[in-house]
Structure 1
C-alpha cells in the first residue's frame, strides 16, 4: 500500500468525516481528530516562536502521553524533524543525544536541561493557536525522525528516517494487519522507539482508528485497561508477554475485544507464543525488524499460516533475503545474513558516513542477524552475528540453547552469552529467570541441555536470577550480561 504523508498528518487529513471521531486519549485527556489537529497547530506556533523551522530538530523528552504525539506532529507541521529522548535518561545521556542531533528546542516535563538547549515545558503547551498559519508542504524526503540506537556497542547513533520511510512502514502495517476505522490500538511501548510511533500511532492514524496511550506497563493494570478500553490490538515485546503469563492463575481478564497482538523487538519463545493464545484467547503475530528498517520487515501473517519458531514472511513492499559472505543471495534452507530492501530502509546514520556505508551496502540493509528462509518465505532467526560464541573453533548460536531452556515449564526467560575461557577462548553460560510460581534447579536445567544439545553447546554454567537486565526498549541487555559474567570469571580466576 502506497501511503503519502497526508494520511497521518492531521492538518492534511482526507475528507471522510473524521473530524468528530475519537482520535487519541491517555489517562488525562481525550481528543477527536479535529481537536488533535488544533493542538498540533497551536504547539507548532509555539515551536516557531522558539526558532524551529524547516530543517530544525525538536528533542522530545516525555513519558508516554498525548502531548508527546502532539509535539511530534507539530515539528512535522513546520518541516522539522523530531528526536524522542528516553525520559529516564541521565543528564549525560540526554545531553549527548540532544547535542548530537543539534536540537533547536527540547520539550520536557522539567527545565533540568535548560543549560543544554532552550526548554519548553509540557505543561505550558498551548491548546489553541493565537493565529492561523499555513503548514509546511511535507515531502517524502523531508527528515521526520532521528531515532537513537540503544548503543550496545559504542555511542548511540541517530537513525535518520524521512517521511517516505515512515509512511511506507505505517502503510505496510495497515495492509498487513487489515486495519480500518474500527481499529483501536492500546499503545504500551515507549514512544522514544519507532515501533510505538509507526505500528501503534501512525498506522492507526492512517486507518482512521483510535489510540489509547498507557503511561507505563504493569501486568494487572494492563489487563484492566484492556477490559475498560476495549482495544482491538496492541504491539508489545516478549518481556511484556512473559509477565502476563507469569500472573497467578486466579487473575482474570476480559480480553475478548482483542483481535490479535503483535510481538517484536526481540525473539519470543514458542512457549510464550502458545501460552498467550491459550490463556488470553487471541493470536500473537511475531515479527522482526530493525530501527534502521523503520521498525518491521517480516511478520507472521494475520490471514495466512503462522509458523511458530519463525518471524513470518516479508511485509508488503519489502524484500527480505539471505546473503552469503561473498555477497551472493542464498537459496531457501541456507544459513546467512538477513538483508532487507524497500522504501522503509533508513536514509543513514546522522553524521556517520562510514557506519552508514557498512550497513547499507549494494542496495541492501545488512541486519547483522543470521537467518534461514524456508521454501514458503518464512524467516527463522538463528542469532545475531555478533552474539555468536566461538568455542575452540566451533560456532555456537546462543538462540539454539535458549530455545532448549525455554522448553522447561519453569523457565520464564533465558539468555546465553559467551564467557572468557583460557582453553577454548569462550564458552556458553546461561542466565535464567524462573516463573514465580514454579521451580527448577541448575542440575535439572543442565540435564535438559545435555539431552537436546551436543556437548560443545551445553552451558558450562547456569545462573538462576530474579530478573534478566533489559535495555530501554525491552530487549535483553546482553552486553551487560557479558560484562557481568566476564567480571565473575576474572574474580574466580584471581581467587
Structure 2
C-alpha cells in the first residue's frame, strides 16, 4: 500500500531563512489574507483594549533591546515563560525570538518540584512570570540557584501596574528599551538556517515515559501555520462566503492556553496570520466565555472536549445568543460521537470539525477540510504531510486497516532536548512514530482509535503514568504501582492507580478496616506534589501488578480492569 498523502493540495512555499516574528509581523506570504482596516491583532477580553500591529512592533522591539541590555539574553539562550494567557505573551515570545533566544512555555499550574525539574532540563536562566505565580517561581528559582532578579513580571493584562519594587516588569523593560540609543538588528538567517535554529522548548510527554522537552525550529513552526492556512483556504475565493469557516476580520476567542501547542500554533499564530482578531482570555470560565461570545460577536471557537461538555450540558448556555458562531474546532483529545451529536443539536447551523496533531509535529497533522461542513473524525492530512499506518506485524496498512500512525511532515520537531534515546525511538528515519492506533478511511479521514502507549490525556493535557508512578512509589505504604487512564465525562480521561501495599501498609489497612485511609493517602500524596491536572481520580488496592517476564507493566490488563470498575461505578 502506498503512503497516504494530503487530498487538499500541495504545501505552499515555506521560507527557511525567517524567524517567527519576521514571518508573522513583517512577511507578506502569497496565501496570507489582507487584514481589514481597523481590525486589531489582539484584544483584552475583560476591558476590550485593542492592540494593533504598530503597538505590537514597538513593544516587541523595545522589549528585545531591554532583554539584551539588562539580562544579556542572546542566541540560543532559553527563557522560561510561566503565565496564563496575556496580550503581552506573544510580545514577550517575539522579543526573545528577535534576539534568537529560545522560548520555553510552561503550564503555570506546575508545582515547585515540577518547575525545578523544567528549569534544570531547559537550563533557562531567565523567567517571565505572571504576577499571580510569583510564589511558585521564586521558590523554584531559589532551588536551582537562580537569582530572583532574573524574574520578569507580567502584570494582570487589564491592570498594567505592578507594585513589586524588587522585580522588573515587562513594561519597565519595554520603556528601557525604547529609551535606549541601542537597537536590536533584525538578523537575517542564512538559507536553511531556520530548520536548525530552535524557537521553542515545548513540553510533551512524548509517546511514552517521563515528560520531555520538544525542540521546535522556526521553520517547523512556520510550516505548520502555513499547513493549517492552506488546508483552510484562508485566502481563496469560493462559494458561500457567509458560511466560510475562517474569514479575515473575524474574531476568535483565545480561551485555551498559549503554553499548549494547540493554543500556541492554532489559536494565536494561525488566527493572526489569517487576519483575525484574537480575544485574549486569561482564564477559562464558562459564563464569562459565553458573555465574551456575545460581546465580541465571536465567529470561531477553538476548544477541547471538556469545554464542549459544558456547552452541551450546562443550562446557562440557553441564556446567551450564540448565533455569531460559525465554526467550532475541537482538538487536543478526541470528541466522542455522543458529544459531537449534542453539539450539533445545540448549534445546528455551524461547522463542527476536529483536528489531530501532536507537539512532536508542531501542532496540526490533520483537520476537517473546508468542503466538509461537519467532521466527527480527525480530518484529512494537511498539505505536506505523509502518513503511514503500520500494522502490528510491521506491514503497511491499507484503507480501513488499523495500525500505528507514522507521520512525515516539514513541521516535525528536531527531537527531544537531551534525550537521544527517546528521540531515536520517536523520530525514526524521517518519520514521527505517533504511538496512536488509527485507521484511514476511503475519504482519507484519519480515525483515531486508541493510544498504543501509556499517555493519559486529561482535559487535553498529557499526563505520563510513569511520572505519577514515581511519585506514588515515594509513599512509604506503596510497594508497587501501575497508573492507567479511565474514561471521564468531563476530563476525557483521569488517572487511576492500582497500588500494592508494603507490609506496613497492609498492617495499616487491617487497622483501618476497609482501607479508606490507604486509598486517600496516595491521592493526597500526588495532590501535594503534582499539578492539578495530574491528580489521581481513584486508588484501587490490589495484590499484584501484572508484568511480563522482563518486568514490563501489562497496562492493558489493568486498563480493562479499570474500565470495568468505572462502568460498575456508573451502574
TM-score, length of structure 2 as denominator length: 0.67
Change (3 A) 1:6 1:385: closer
> 1:273-299: CA deviations, max 9, x gaps?
121122134222111111111122111
Counterpart Cα distance in 1 of 2:125 and 2:495: 41
- State the secondary structure of the residue aligned to 2:412: coil
Note the residue ranges of structure 2 that are not aligned, 5 or more in a row.
Answer: 1-11, 156-168, 235-246, 456-483, 501-526, 545-571
RMSD: 3.2
- State the secondary structure of the residue aligned to 2:200: strand
Match of 1:316 in 2: 383
Aligned length: 421
Counterpart Cα distance in 1 of 2:153 and 2:219: 30
> 1:351-385: CA deviations, max 9, x gaps?
11110000011321101111111112112122111
Match of 1:134 in 2: 185
Change (3 A) 1:307 1:225: closer
Counterpart Cα distance in 2 of 1:120 and 1:245: 40
Change (3 A) 1:18 1:97: farther
Match of 2:68 in 1: 48
> 1:77-127: CA deviations, max 9, x gaps?
111110111112112111211221111311112361443432112241134
Change (3 A) 1:242 1:377: same
Change (3 A) 1:185 1:472: farther
Match of 1:172 in 2: 227
The answer to whether 1:299 aligns with 2:367 is: yes
Match of 1:37 in 2: 57
Which one of the candidate residues 215, 226, 251 is aligned to 1:160?
215
Point out the more displaced range, 12-21 or 123-132.
12-21
Change (3 A) 1:248 1:89: same
Counterpart Cα distance in 2 of 1:88 and 1:151: 20
Change (3 A) 1:44 1:162: same
Residues 458-469 of structure 1: matches in 2 within 5 Å? Answer: none
Shift of 1:198: 0.4
Which one of the candidate residues 261, 271, 284 is aligned to 2:352?
284
- State the secondary structure of the residue aligned to 1:168: helix
Counterpart Cα distance in 2 of 1:234 and 1:97: 31
Match of 1:391 in 2: none
Counterpart Cα distance in 1 of 2:271 and 2:21: 9
- State the secondary structure of the residue aligned to 2:104: strand
Counterpart Cα distance in 1 of 2:36 and 2:370: 27
Which one of the candidate residues 285, 300, 321 is aligned to 1:254?
321
- State the secondary structure of the residue aligned to 1:276: helix
Which structure ranks higher in relative contact order (CA pairs < 8 Å, sequence separation ≥ 6)? 2
Match of 2:152 in 1: 120
Q: CA contact under 8 A between 2:64 and 2:184: conserved in structure 1?
A: no
Counterpart Cα distance in 2 of 1:369 and 1:249: 36
Change (3 A) 1:151 1:487: farther
Point out the more displaced range, 252-261 or 125-134.
125-134
TM-score, length of structure 1 as denominator length: 0.77
Which one of the candidate residues 388, 412, 420 is aligned to 1:353?
420
Note the residue ranges of structure 1 that are not aligned, 5 or more in a row.
Answer: 389-397, 423-468, 491-495
Change (3 A) 1:23 1:421: closer
Q: CA contact under 8 A between 1:22 and 1:33: conserved in structure 2?
A: yes
Q: CA contact under 8 A between 1:148 and 1:156: conserved in structure 2?
A: yes
